[in-house]
A and B are shown apart, each in its own frame.
Chain A
């Protein structure tokens, strides 16, 4: 559509013109461009040879290859889960190529293909500048291999290990072996098993005893080669008294074929350690008719292994055609704390089934869940959460708040909280509401000369505030913008 190219209209101007609304409705995905770089890919298909080949390409040790094969063999025996409120076209796992990497592995940023850097520019992530300015170390994953890692030295001085998973397997084999799969076992679920068999790369973070990571760590993911599944594996270990804040953000170029994405993230917090994990997810959601878009099946789990440890998940989910994701906390250590703050926005034909699990095992463990769902267009947005209090979790406490906002008459907003309590000393509370943007609120804004779209985005911003304030500052700004862009054309 021609209108889509000149979308730079005054944001403060109220939407009056039908053509303008039409244009906004049909606006193309802004980050939708394909960078033309040569890729090495494995042929489509999945079998033991592919798994072995993948492991060989990455130069992995024998134990890793065996680990992958065990996961693959288990995956073969598992049925695909169908309990989520998602309408998914059958996925042909044999048509997916399980590995793709930029051909030459650059050793430093200077060697990085300028086209690749250009891609980051377009996304607003000028790797070097941003890293310097914001003090953020970026481990960028372009398709499946890490191509540039910055601030390695500064982190090394603090004793922090922050590198790609491939490198970690080669250089910190013992550490990886000790923790990999200890939070999400290979047979945990269908998609975790698939990931364990074919994961391409991801990040490894290790914060040693007593160290507060000197900067926020960040990884940008980006899918690029056509027909390539992206299977990241992230492992973060915080030893006693350590602290780390980790940011994950992603955006993918536009294409019309569904892309399979099955990530696994494992967090381990030992005594008094704290891990804060923030995500802004903006994979390609498909067009207004539900064509294309990423299938996003993610297993994220944190293990509060030590007493007084804390794991906090914050997520802003605006992308993907299908989102299947339940970042969880296993509160094993006494007095450990789990938190989950989430904003999930669906538009057009997007479907999201997302939430969290808080498993209370230790005494006096606490968890808090704040989930905000926004549905627009013909989308479906479900919160699914489990709060489980085991027998020994004396004095455990949970508070859950789930709110849904509906924009339009064709969308769905659903809440499925599960509460299982086996300890009489525990207190579990759940509250949920569903409503639309109230006419009073809109009228108030309109009568003060604020355009309808701006009014809606202000109200939505207010609705999400509880979650946004948990995000690191630069992410909060991005998240707010993302929501505005994602909601364009939802009203009017």
Chain B
């Protein structure tokens, strides 16, 4: 790049200079390489197909210093609790691990620690994930940034055949005390053969200071293992959040992801599943409810690379105010992945003349013994359903809110944790635009 780096890139380079060396040669090399790659490519532009609907011009002009660890360590934060999620808890405030708010006992056969601690104790098993190189240039800018700057996070290992009795609650809190700062966290999860794990990744803000957060999460789900993952994003309206999740499924593994996007100013959520083992199954459910000037971009990619695998994706979106909802859902079936059964449904409600929804369901198929289908709609509530309810004496406003809620809740139905499901449903209701709830 011959052009001068943007304020965003300059600030990131300055921040990197303050990160102390880890003392682990391969890790420091990986950090430096990722930083160089980030500096070379800069932030992606709208011309970049992967970022077509999420312009970053405004973000490029902002600069974020690294959040101060001292302030974060002493920031007063009330415990974040979720109904139905009362197991182990790992809490980060402005990206800093808070042992005082966490409880790391996740039961028999489950190893849980902060990344910083794990790196000191036994760095080698983490090498595979942390020395990862990204190859897509600017499209991977935030992954590079995270790899260069994230010094802490979560490491969870569930031993073969172990079953987590209660879900692990990972909480990322923005304290609101450090505006214009950034934090970066890494999540590494391995679910051993035949084991079962449940994880809730939760993003919240205490104040409304403008912060940037990035998370890169890797989930390896071994043969015959199952994973239930819930993502709840309820950040403040000033938060910029970029999360990349990567899930690998071995043979006969089963993964279910439920994502609920409520807050944030600019949110980019990339979720990639690689179905690598025969007979594995990956299900995703997601919903976003946007208003104000929110911009939420979800990028879902499901790669089928083995025989007799299946995936089912169901995503719902609501955009009101001046918000913009972006969804891309790609199903890729590799050559030889015979017996794949994949489907994706993406439905959206557009409620305001100033709002916008851009959706792009994709199919890329290189095998012929395949059933693959997708459907996407953008529109309003079905007039006939409204009429039906009204003809039975339900007032229009109530009928609208009933149907809207039913529309969103379809994304939560398959969540087996009943207490959590109810709570998420209530959160959604609270976030629904007033035009449909009043």
Contact = CB atoms under 8 A, between A and B. Distances in A.
Interface stretch (B103-111, B375-383, B400-408): B375-383
Contact of A404 (B350, B365, B378): B365
A426 B350 contact: yes
Contact of B370 (A83, A429, A435): A435
Interface in A419-445: 419-436
Contacts of A202: none
B355 interface: yes
B30 interface: no
A427 B378 contact: yes
Given A429-B379, A432-B375, A406 B370 contact: yes
B48 to A, nearest CB: 10
B356 A421 contact: yes
Interface of A: 83, 389, 391, 404, 406-436
B363 A428 contact: no
Nearest to A416: B362
Contacts of A419: 357-360, 376, 378
Interface of B: 49, 53, 335-336, 348, 350-353, 355-380
Contacts of B348: 421
B358 A413 contact: no
A434 B335 contact: no
B375 A427 contact: no
Contacts of A415: 361-363, 374
- Overall SS of chain B's interface: strand
Given A408-B368, A433-B373, A434-B363, 5 more contacts: A414-B365, A415-B363, A422-B356, A426-B379, A436-B368
19 contacts: A406-B365, A406-B368, A409-B336, A411-B366, A414-B365, A415-B362, A415-B363, A418-B360, A419-B357, A419-B358, A419-B376, A421-B350, A424-B355, A425-B380, A429-B377, A429-B379, A432-B374, A433-B372, A434-B371
Nearest to A387: B378
A404 B367 CA distance: 12
A421 B358 contact: yes
A425 B350 CA distance: 8
A434 B370 contact: yes
Contacts of B351: 424
B257 to A, nearest CB: 23
Contacts of B362: 414-417
The 6 lowest CB-CB distance pairs between A and B, nearest first, are A427-B379, A406-B368, A415-B363, A436-B368, A434-B372, A421-B378
A260 B378 CA distance: 39
Contacts of A431: 373-375
A433 B364 CA distance: 11
A359 to B, nearest CB: 14
A310 B355 CA distance: 29
Contacts of A407: 368
Contacts of A435: 370-372
A424 B350 contact: yes
Nearest to A408: B368
A479 to B, nearest CB: 24
Contacts of B375: 429-432
B49 to A, nearest CB: 6
Contacts of A421: 348, 350, 356-358, 378
Contacts of B374: 415, 430-432
Nearest to A418: B360
Contacts of B369: 436
A423 B357 CA distance: 9
Nearest to B347: A429
A430 B373 contact: no
Contacts of A410: 335
